[in-house]
Amino acid sequence: MRLLLLRHGQTHSNVSGALDTAFPGASLTDLGRRQADAVVQALAGTSIDTIAVSNLLRTAETAHPIATELTLTPVEHDGLREITAGDFEMRADEEAVFGFLGTIADWLDGDLDLRMPGGETCTEFLARYDDAIARVCTDGVAAALVVSHGAAIRTWVTHRASGEHAPIHEGLHNTGCIVLDGSPEEGWTIVAWDREPIGGDWLDDEQAPDPTGGDLDPDDEVPDQSSGS
């Protein structure tokens, strides 16, 4: 089957740089709503049998225009939510951003049992995301659109899919999309990796801090957060 993993549109927390991962989360900005509207045209002609969202408000708001166009009712899966920021929740300071992105970068490098301070380990994250994806991939579904979150999508794809892709530590912009083919049983292969908004580069906001969609590279410098929760 085909799995389209779409990051949600821009939120007010993306603009302020806050690590917003708890329920219900911030709503979309005006730009975020335009990004969501543009998804309809970008995916025109694409076969989609079901739409899945996380329990965070921004994914439902992003899915609404295309769900309306396709007359589909999005199905909520709690396991598709963003990686829990734990002790860093709603912080935007340098220490918190370093801590969050640095922990996930270590996960991407294979330290699956490292715990996000006050949050989950990578092993725990992968288990709940795997379960959600398995529920999405029910019998009769040939193509599913999953509206989820920047850090969560990249971390799961890194550990569960093979094939060529963009540098894994690079950001995934709002309404960037990664396309996979495969199944939970047989594994997944990357078909496409669009880190820019699929509706067009003109919908990007390179000035927004956006930590959960930013680069996942714990350098000695402040992480580049302009490239993509």
How far apart (Å, rounded) are the C-alpha atoms in residues 52 and 144? 7
Which strand ranges, in their side-by-side order, compose the sheet holding 50-53?
Answer: 75-76, 50-53, 143-148, 2-7, 177-183, 187-194, 161-162
Is-contact 132 77, C-beta < 8 A?
Answer: yes
Who's near 184: CB < 8 A, 6+ residues apart? 130, 133, 134, 137
CB 85 within 8 A of CB 100: yes
Alpha-carbon gap, residue 74 to 147, rounded angstroms: 9
Cβ burial of 90 (10 Å; 0-12, 13-18, 19+) is middle
In a domain, 60, yes or no: no
Question: Which residues are paired to 177 by β-bridges?
Answer: 6, 194
Residue 224 lies in a domain: no
Residue 9 lies in a domain: no
Q: Does the residue 104 lie in any domain?
A: yes
**Residue 31 located in a structural domain:** yes
pLDDT value for 224: 42
Report the candidate in 92, 195, 181 with the shortest Cα–Cα distance to residue 153: 195
147 pairs with which residues across the strands?
6, 53
pLDDT at 167: 53
Determine, yes or no, domain membership for 215.
no
The pair of three-digit structure tokens given for residue 144, joined into one six-digit string: 């599913």
Q: Give dist(CA 191, CA 166) in Å, integer.
A: 11
Q: Is 147 a domain residue?
A: no
What whole-number distance in Å separates Cα of residue 3 and Cα of residue 169? 21
Measured distance CA(172)–CA(7) in Å, rounded:
7
Count of structural domains, the chain: 1
Amino acid identity of residue 95, one-letter, is: E
Tens of pLDDT along the chain (229 residues)? 999 999 999 999 999 999 999 999 999 999 999 999 999 999 999 999 999 999 999 999 999 999 999 999 999 999 999 999 999 999 999 999 999 999 998 998 899 999 999 999 999 999 999 999 999 998 889 999 999 999 999 999 999 999 876 556 677 999 999 999 999 999 999 999 999 999 998 898 888 888 877 666 545 344 443 333 6
Under 8 Å between Cβ of 85 and 103: no
Are the CB atoms for 173 and 227 separated by under 8 Å? yes
What range defines the domain where residue 102 resides? Answer: 16-41+67-140+168-179+198-209
Write down the pLDDT at residue 62: 98
Q: Is residue 1 part of a domain?
A: no
pLDDT on residue 222: 40
pTM: 0.92
SS3 12: helix
Q: What is the pLDDT of residue 225?
A: 39
